[in-house]
Structure 1
Amino acid sequence: MSDPSKAWDGEQVRKWLERRFEASRLDQAAADRRGYEAQDDYDKAAAEEWVCRALKSADCTNEQAAFAQRIKELIAQDEYKVTGIYDDTRFERNVRGHLRKLAKMTKANEGFEKTLRYQ
């Protein structure tokens, strides 16, 4: 699934998810302050928060194959329940986009070391 020379690090994945979760919360607050023109940014940040919340405390982060399987299960969901967003369709599209990004990162076992707020 990944480069055998680089071992899967569940702790690093959880740290990355936690940092992205916090960054998405800050992005939502900033978009909320900007008002109507930032509704798309708000929904995008809310989608990232949803993905990180769904995955950060899961036991599957310890194993690469289990984490990849959990991401596939989330992608296959029909809808994602959340309140306070502006456009359900846009939110669901952003959730699936974030999940696909995570699936690629998981498959390659790359990108989890990047913990800066802006990526």
Structure 2
Amino acid sequence: MTDPPKAWDAELVGKWLERRLAAARHDQAAADRRGYEARDDYDKAAAEEWVCRALQSPDCTREQAALARRIKELIGQDDYRATGIYDDIRFERHVRGHLRKLAKMTKANEGFEKTLRYQ
């Protein structure tokens, strides 16, 4: 027996992006306080913040296909501009990793209900 596919919930996706954005900001602040050894953690959190901010537009979260299209556009970009990061290459690798994760979540329409801070 297969379950019928879930309907796309744009409000839930928006809430998930907001919470991940807030968590990413918090993680950046924590990594900044830890100093030099936490530079990778800072870049990873900055990448997640960049991705969430780029996808927060209601136009792209309203429909599943629109979000998938926007993620595909972002993955196809050559570079990602951000200030205050430590390593551009590492930051871009983390951005692409977050985008791939979101692409899988969007395609399967699952995972957006997990709104806890740690994932």
Please give the TM-score of this superposition, normalised by the length of structure 1: 0.96
User: Which string of whole-angstrom CA distances, capped at 9 and with x for unpartnered residues, describes residues 75-102 of structure 1?
Assistant: 0000001110000000000000000000
**Distance in 2 separating the partners of 1:40 and 1:33:** 13
The match for 2:43 is 43
Per the TM alignment, residue 56 of structure 1 is displaced from its structure 2 partner at its CA by 1.1
The match for 1:79 is 79
The match for 1:15 is 15
**Higher relative contact order, chain-length normalized (CA < 8 Å, sep 6+):** 1
The match for 1:26 is 26
Q: What secondary structure is seen at the aligned counterpart in 1 of 2:21?
A: helix
**Distance in 2 separating the partners of 1:51 and 1:4:** 30
Per the TM alignment, residue 63 of structure 1 is displaced from its structure 2 partner at its CA by 0.5
The match for 2:5 is 5
**Which stretch of structure 1 is more off in the superposition, 4-13 or 91-100?**
4-13
Structure 2: 5+ residue stretches without partners: none
Give the letter for the 1:35 counterpart: G
**Distance in 2 separating the partners of 1:60 and 1:79:** 21
Please give the TM-score of this superposition, normalised by the length of structure 2: 0.96
The match for 1:116 is 116
Identity of aligned residues (%): 83
4+ long deviations beyond 4 Å: none
Give the letter for the 1:111 counterpart: G
The match for 2:96 is 96
Per the TM alignment, residue 4 of structure 1 is displaced from its structure 2 partner at its CA by 4.8
Structure 1: 5+ residue stretches without partners: none
Aligned length: 117
The match for 1:54 is 54
